[in-house]
């Protein structure tokens, strides 16, 4: 129970820091600037979920961003959630499982500033392509690891890096691609779809592992990346 109590305290602390120290609020500042522009007051009426869905439908880049965020998150959750089960089947104890998952989480978050810098430097599409490559490599390495705990650990670390690349670049592209007034609603829609598809993926992952194994699960998760790859390729061809 100790880690859960610790996590609850950290969440409360994080909420307090954001509530007390995030001044000025970036969203309110952006709205104030937009309201001061011609047509800004009229655009404020579009701050609804319906307006957010309409904004996504009207923007091919926003649709690519949503596919990137949901695909990256679902592939990551599907593989990560079953990795402790696979490790246990090959004799790993709780300390080794904790080490592997810790490395995975480090890959997810420790390099997010780098992914943000790359998204600005190389462009959103390039980093989404990087995410596809990293996630696919992770699925290959982890899915063919067998009893090699080291390969599973490497695969999970790369999986975290791929998730970071996809989430950071996809979220940035989503914000870039819709009007300011619709951004909060679009982000809410993105979070809803991301977590819903990941929940379905996590549930399906257990069934797949119980029936076919950890390797097939990784292969199926890699297939989730195909729509991302196709949309990125189409975007690159359009720019060319």
Distance between CA atoms of residues 211 and 189, nearest Å:
33
pLDDT given at position 36: 62
pLDDT given at position 46: 59
Kindly report the number of other CB atoms within 10 A of residue 239's CB atom.
8
Q: Which residues of the chain have pLDDT under 70?
A: 36-47, 240
For CA atoms 128, 131, 137, 143, give the dihedral sign. Answer: negative
Question: Is cis: bond before 24, omega within 30 of 0?
Answer: yes
126's CB contacts (< 8 A; 6+ apart) are 118
pLDDT given at position 82: 97
In contact, 105 and 160? CB cutoff 8 Å? yes
Phi, psi of 58 (to 5 degrees): -85, -5
Tens of pLDDT along 35-76?
765 555 545 555 677 888 899 999 999 999 999 999 999 999
To the question of pTM greater than 0.85 for the whole model, the response is yes
First to last CA, the chain: 55
Distance between CA atoms of residues 33 and 27, nearest Å:
10
**Residue 180: enclosing H or E segment and its boundaries?**
none
Tokens of 108: 């997810």
Cα 179-60-224 angle, rounded to 5 deg: 120
pLDDT given at position 44: 52
């Amino acid at each position: 129970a100790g880690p859960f109590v610790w996590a609850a305290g950290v969440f409360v602390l994080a909420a307090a820091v954001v509530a007390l120290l995030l001044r000025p609020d970036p969203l309110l500042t952006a709205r104030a600037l937009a309201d001061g522009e011609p047509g800004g007051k009229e655009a404020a009426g579009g701050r609804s979920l319906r307006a957010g869905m309409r904004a996504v439908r009207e923007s091919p880049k926003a649709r690519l961003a949503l596919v990137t965020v949901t695909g990256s998150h679902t592939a990551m959750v599907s593989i990560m959630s079953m990795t402790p089960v696979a490790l246990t089947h090959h004799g790993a104890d709780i300390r080794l499982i904790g080490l592997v998952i810790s490395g995975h989480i480090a890959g997810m978050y420790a390099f997010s500033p780098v992914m943000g810098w790359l998204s600005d430097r190389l462009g959103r599409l390039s980093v989404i392509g990087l995410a596809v490559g990293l996630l696919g490599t992770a699925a290959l390495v982890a899915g063919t690891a067998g009893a090699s705990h080291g390969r599973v650990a490497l695969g999970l670390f790369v999986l975290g890096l791929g998730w970071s690349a996809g989430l950071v670049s996809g979220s940035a592209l989503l914000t870039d691609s819709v009007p300011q007034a619709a951004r909060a609603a679009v982000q809410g829609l993105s979070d809803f779809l991301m977590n819903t598809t990941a929940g379905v993926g996590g549930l399906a992952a257990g069934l797949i592992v119980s029936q076919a194994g950890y390797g097939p699960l990784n292969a199926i998760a890699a297939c989730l990346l195909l729509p991302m790859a196709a949309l990125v390729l189409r975007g690159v061809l359009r720019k060319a």
